[in-house]
Amino acid sequence: MSHEAVLHGHESHGHDDHGHHEHHDTFLTKYVFSQDHKMIAKQFLITGMVWAVLGGLMSVLFRLQLGYPDASFPWLESILGKWAKGGQITPEAYYALVTTHGTVLVFFVLTAGLSGTFANFLIPLQIGARDMASPFMNMLSYWFFFSASIVMLSSLFVETGPFSGGWTAYPPLSALHDASPGSKTGMDLWIIAMALFVVSSLLGGLNYIATILNMRTKGMSMTRLPLSIWALFFTAVLGVLSFPVLLSGLILLIFDRNFGTSFYLSDIFVNGVGALSNEGGSAILFQHLFWFLGHPEVYIILLPAMGMVSEILSVNSRKPIFGYMAMLGSLFAIAVLAFLVWAHHMFVTGLNPFLGSVFVLLTLLIAVPSAIKVFNWLTTLWRGNIRFTPGMLFAIGFVSLFISGGLTGIWLGNAALDIHLHDTYFVIAHFHIVMGVASMFGMFAGVYHWFPKMYGRYLNNSLGYIHFWVTIAGAYMIFWPMHYEGLAGMPRRYFDFSIWESFKQFADLNRFISTVSMIVFAVQILFLINFFYSIFKGRKVTVQNPWESNTLEWTAPINPGHGNWPGEIPEVHRWPYDYGKDGHDFIPQTTPVGADETDTH
């Protein structure tokens, strides 16, 4: 079945694209409206990087306020104008920055930038296909993301400011124009941007699923797929099943905002406006709809990183990934559980305590597959022959961060502790380490590892090493102490702590964290320089398989054209993790199984 599909895919796509390639490949079709999955991947990556820089810059700005609440920086006023009157960021601007930072990093960078890039780049190359199932839909997916980006960007420039009610956008704050200046035009643009984003992610996700299921090359059975592909597959399934729920929630929000309905509104009296006529709605309904996406979203961000890290750890340890089936099973378990734990974000909303207890149980259950993954990664390193490429370093860093952040998840998933720690800096520390920084590390690992395949050149190693060591040390210095602030109950999303007797003792710590965050941001700029310089001037790749890896993408030419393999698509004879087997350093997937080979997988 899959064999036929591949042949069919080969014929139709190969011809189409080939004709495309030779005859009418203009600048516009090659670099802008490209239907080549590799180019689309690069578009996602670079757009994601632009957002990462903007989002990171925003965090530097609001950390400036948290670290130096009394200081004034005249240059801020020259950049931000009325949002930093007198050189100090206003509360309004602060909340807008926090909100945009969250939205952009979660959705635009770690969803589109991460799975958009690597699903597009790796799926056809690693399963042995010439392109995606629908290259046109794939192109649309990027352009919907691009339009979402433009709308989100434009919301930064409206007079009343961008949305400022937190990335979770809880109504009534997000539903009432008069509750906050950011809830006026800024919020409308935010919703439109998110709706476009959901469309983009659905078009992408359906394509990824269809491609993985139908277009594998001959011999590439599902259990011979690299774990990176499995992870991207589950990611796409999660996205396709959960993003529509967010969209429905946002549509109801549009109705409440503009057409006088009361889905989320009831019994409200707004200062300066008076009592509203809305009755009978439930503000909690939105939270259910939001977190039904919001929690799977965490795994949409994390799974691709896990998959790529598994792959990179195995390649550079020169050892098979330990427990392939267990890794696959735990990915599956995480994907299923991801849909059953959303209400752990809502333990303190007045949730029925019995329901809460069910969610405690299911939430802590996730720790089991997570533990399996960690132990399997550790065993993969054990007795390996490890090469520290920058990609490998970031993969090891990912495991370290995943352990640190995952363990605090056990604290927060337990409702009786969450009732104290909810919405404090403890939560900030937890999800930044386990989801934010860890997935960012997965993304860096992927970029360093597959850059030679993307551009036919190497990134500079020394810059990569500096980038890694400063970033991991900095990440821990920023987020580790935040656990202490959280244990003191210090709430999130506070503009200034100086009036609080219970929290102001951390002023010096906040200054320290802010300083480190600026250094870490500066080092990311170093990565950007490395990235863009190396695209054009980096050392050229001269061997087809620089990491001596087993997977299919390294059997394609150094600079693969549209269609990936010039001749036949290679046939696959084994799983991708035969490293160090029977005295061979590595055995590519395309090598037929020898007669005297030991049977393992």
Q: Which stretch binds other proteins (CB under 8 A): 27-35, 80-88, 175-183, 550-558?
A: 175-183
Could you say whether residue 57 binds other proteins (CB under 8 A)? no
Scanning 145-153, 211-219, 240-248, 487-495 for contacts with other proteins by CB under 8 A, the matching segment is 487-495
* Interface with other proteins (CB under 8 A), residue from 87, 244, 456, 489: 489
- Give the shortest CB-279-to-other proteins separation in angstroms: 8
Residue from 137, 158, 210, 372 touching other proteins (CB under 8 A): that is 372
Q: Which amino acid is present at 157?
A: F
Dihedral of alpha carbons 243, 244, 249, 255, sign: positive
Q: To the nearest whole angstrom, how small is the minimum distance from the Cβ of residue 447 to other proteins? A: 17
505 binds other proteins per the rule CB under 8 A: yes
Dihedral Cα 312, 317, 319, 320, nearest 10 deg: -20
Q: Which stretch binds other proteins (CB under 8 A): 53-61, 147-155, 212-220, 485-493?
A: 485-493
Per CB under 8 A, which of residues 326..365 are in contact with other proteins?
A: 326, 348-350, 353, 356-357, 360-361, 364-365
Three-class SS of 176-245: CHHHCHHHCHHHHHHHHHHHHHHHHHHHHHHHHHHHHHHCCCCCCCHHHCCHHHHHHHHHHHHHHHHHHH
Q: Are 162 and 156 in contact (CB under 8 A)?
A: yes
Binding flag, residue 275, other proteins (CB under 8 A)? yes
| Dist. CA 584–CA 288, nearest whole Å | 53
> In the complex with other proteins, which residue's Cβ is closer, 28 or 378?
378
Q: Which stretch binds other proteins (CB under 8 A): 142-150, 226-234, 482-490, 561-569?
A: 482-490
Phi-psi region of 236 (alpha: psi -120 to 50; beta: other; left: phi over 0): alpha
Q: Taking the complex as a whole, how short is the minimal distance between the CB of residue 305 and other proteins, in angstroms?
A: 16
Segment 395-454, which members bind other proteins (CB under 8 A)? 396, 399-400, 403-404, 407-408, 410-411, 414-417, 419-420, 422-424
Q: Which of residues 449-478 bind other proteins (CB under 8 A)?
A: 460-463, 465-466, 469, 472-473, 476-477
Antiparallel, parallel or unpaired: β 274-275 and 269-270 = antiparallel
Helix (H) or strand (E) holding 335: helix 324-337
- Smallest gap from Cβ 353 to other proteins, in A, equals 4
User: CA–CA separation, 307 vs 2, rounded Å?
Assistant: 23
The window from 190-198, 237-245, 429-437, 501-509 that contacts other proteins (CB under 8 A) reads: 501-509
From residue 573, give the alpha-carbon distance in Å to each of 17, 174, 578, 589. 27, 55, 11, 6
Minimum distance, C-beta of residue 448 to other proteins, in the bound complex (Å): 13
27 is an interface residue for other proteins by CB under 8 A: no
Q: Which residue has the tokens 């997977």?
A: 551
Q: Per CB under 8 A, which of residues 241..260 are in contact with other proteins? A: none
Assess 166 for contact with other proteins (CB under 8 A): yes
Identity at 361, one-letter amino acid code: L
Among 386, 519, 535, 541, binds other proteins (CB under 8 A): 386
- Does 4 help bind other proteins (rule: CB under 8 A)? no
Distance separating alpha carbons of residues 441 and 429, to the nearest angstrom: 16
Cα separation, 112 vs 200, in Å, equals 9
475 secondary structure, DSSP code: H
